[in-house]
């Protein structure tokens, strides 16, 4: 097996710490992304070793396929109904445990699953911890119909809240517009910083063509931040004063 990079050691450590929180009988939400891949692998090992009985919903087709390939049965969220715990990665984590998510394009299902959970735990390496959200692009999922009009409306909404002249890019993959699992498009907003995330999230979601935005506000309960030496720091919402 190839050697892990320092960032991957940190992600793996955070993922393993998250999997250690799982108890027999739990209903789980499984996140998406490279950290979530470590989590799903660690979960599969625990299931095999301990014969855990779990019910799992996935936040993307990719995660569902990986989990199933490792022997973890995936059910539809609506068949499970409510989840005890969701484990997911993040692109940015601020001191209040507010997040930017969606670099992997799964923000819509991720938010639905996280909001259907008693607890959301984020696993990340230290590069994701920021003082103020927004250096990372903010993904916004939009429906394909009239997407350029939606882009214009987003641009006007940004202007109105003082985020003027911010580039908005249609996400592409292999030179084609990227499609989410719901067959929607993603607009990536380069905002530099987001001083009022609640206000921005509300403004974005009030635009008709916007399905959801990548701001996960007041949702995360605990962030497990892995370090390259394999240790993990815990950041809680209480500590953060949220
Ligand atoms: C996917 C996500 C991911 O959780 C986020 O992009 C973090 O990914 P990674 O663990 O690969 O850094 O939100 O939509």
Same domain, 71 and 161: no
Q: Residue 235 falls within a domain, yes or no?
A: no
Same domain, 77 and 145: no
Q: What single-letter DSSP state applies at residue 196?
A: -
Same domain, 62 and 154: no
Q: Residue 241 falls within a domain, yes or no?
A: no
35 CA distance to ligand 1 middle (Å): 7
**Closest atom, ligand 1, to C-alpha of 102:** 14
Half-sphere exposure in the Cβ direction for 60 (13 Å, CA): 24
Same domain, 109 and 222: yes
Same domain, 123 and 148: no
121 CA distance to ligand 1 middle (Å): 13
Of the residues 110, 131, 152, 192, which is catalytic?
Answer: 110
Nearest to 153 by CA among 102, 231, 206: 206
Same domain, 222 and 110: yes
Same domain, 28 and 110: yes
Q: Residue 1 falls within a domain, yes or no?
A: no
195 CA distance to ligand 1 middle (Å): 22
**Closest atom, ligand 1, to C-alpha of 128:** 12
Nearest to 72 by CA among 46, 102, 94: 46
Give the tokens for residue 74: 């995936």
Same domain, 125 and 23: yes
Q: Which residue range(s) make up the domain with 160? A: 138-208
**Closest atom, ligand 1, to C-alpha of 88:** 4
Q: Residue 126 falls within a domain, yes or no?
A: yes
Cβ proximity of 93 and 128 under 8 Å: yes
CATH number (domain holding residue 78):
3.40.50.1360
Helix residue spans in the chain (DSSP H): 6-19, 34-50, 61-69, 77-80, 107-115, 147-160, 197-205
Q: Residue 240 falls within a domain, yes or no?
A: no
- Asked about 110 being catalytic, the answer comes back as yes
Same domain, 109 and 193: no
Q: Is the dihedral of CA 159, 105, 235, 24 positive or negative?
A: positive
Q: Residue 213 falls within a domain, yes or no?
A: no
The SS3 assignment for 160 reads helix
| pLDDT given for residue 226 in this prediction | 98
Q: What backbone phi and psi angles, to 5 degrees, belong to 176?
A: -110, 150
Cβ proximity of 37 and 66 under 8 Å: yes
| pLDDT given for residue 90 in this prediction | 98
Q: Residue 192 falls within a domain, yes or no?
A: yes
- Ligand 1 pocket (Cβ < 6 Å) reads 31-36, 88-91, 101-107, 110
Residues with pLDDT less than 70, the chain: 1, 238-242
Same domain, 177 and 224: no
The model's pTM is: 0.96
CATH number (domain holding residue 142):
3.30.70.260
Same domain, 164 and 125: no
Q: How many domains, in total, are found in the chain?
A: 2
Q: Residue 242 falls within a domain, yes or no?
A: no
| pLDDT given for residue 1 in this prediction | 53
Same domain, 33 and 75: yes
């Amino acid at each position: 097996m190839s050697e892990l990079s320092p960032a991957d050691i940190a992600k793996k450590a955070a993922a393993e710490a998250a999997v250690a929180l799982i108890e027999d009988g739990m209903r789980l939400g499984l996140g998406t992304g490279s950290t979530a891949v470590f989590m799903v692998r660690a979960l599969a090992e625990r299931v095999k070793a301990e014969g855990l009985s779990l019910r799992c919903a996935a936040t993307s087709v990719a995660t569902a396929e990986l989990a199933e390939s490792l022997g973890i049965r995936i059910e539809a969220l609506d068949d499970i109904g409510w989840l005890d715990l969701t484990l997911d990665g993040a692109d940015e984590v601020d001191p209040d445990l507010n997040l930017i998510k969606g670099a992997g394009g799964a923000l819509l299902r991720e938010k639905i699953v996280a909001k259907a959970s008693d607890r959301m735990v984020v696993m990340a390496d230290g590069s994701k911890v920021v003082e103020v959200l927004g250096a990372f692009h903010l993904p916004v999922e939009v429906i394909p119909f009239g997407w350029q009009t939606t882009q214009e409306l987003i641009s006007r909404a940004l202007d109105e809240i003082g985020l003027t002249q911010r580039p908005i890019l249609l996400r592409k993959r292999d030179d084609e517009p990227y499609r989410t699992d719901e067959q929607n498009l993603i607009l990536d907003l380069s905002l530099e910083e987001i001083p009022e995330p609640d206000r921005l999230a509300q403004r974005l979601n009030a635009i008709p063509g916007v399905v959801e935005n990548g701001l996960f506000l007041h949702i995360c309960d605990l962030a497990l931040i892995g370090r390259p030496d394999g240790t993990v720091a815990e950041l809680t919402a209480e500590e953060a004063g949220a």
